[in-house]
Amino acid sequence: MTGAFEVLVDDDRTQLEAFIEDYRIAIEATLDGVTEEQARRQLVPSATTLLGLLKHVTWMQRVWFEECIGGGTRVALGLVRNPAESFVVVDDDTIDGVIAAHRQACATARAVVAPLSLDAVVTGHRTGPRTVQWVYLQVLRELAHHCGHADILREQILAA
């Protein structure tokens, strides 16, 4: 995969995809070297944990790529209904399992979006049509936002 600093003068799509890939790698990396207990540790009043953040960004990408672009429904895709539910870590969740689910969601996202131009209008999201470029920007925004959360949680966990 090509990183964002390797595509400085490439086309918009190449740059967007490189930034998204960088953040996908970065959020997974926040789980490197932490224990299962640390990955589940709740340091804030919300359900936000390192493992929960990766579960959420996995869900988020499935919503935008598989629902919005691919046209699947949340029920048919086996997705929880809303963002709050996507952070919930259950007993069966493990670091390896959540990372595997994230990687599968990323692979599916790449495949779903590959044949479409940035200007293509997609209609699968319940709030209405939008362009593929808008979806890329939304996913990038969410990944960056949650990577920041994960970085802070990881720093607190490792400092303890």
Query: By C-alpha distance, which of 115, 8, 13 is closest to 69?
Result: 115
What is the dihedral angle through the alpha carbons of 3, 36, 48, 148, rounded to the nearest 10 degrees? -30
The confidence score (pLDDT) of residue 21 equals 97
- Helix 50-61 to helix 132-159 angle, to the nearest 10 degrees? 170
Per-residue pLDDT of the chain (160 residues; tens, 9 = 90+): 678 888 787 799 999 999 999 999 999 999 999 999 999 999 988 889 999 999 999 999 999 999 999 999 999 999 999 999 999 999 999 999 999 999 999 999 999 999 999 999 999 988 899 999 999 999 999 999 999 999 999 999 999 8
Query: What is the tens place of the pLDDT at every residue in 9-49?
Result: 779 999 999 999 999 999 999 999 999 999 999 998 888 99
Tell me the C-alpha distance between 18 and 81, whole Å. Answer: 29
Nearest Cα residue to 127 out of 47, 68, 87, 41: 68
Nearest-CA neighbor of 71 among 110, 129, 118?
A: 129
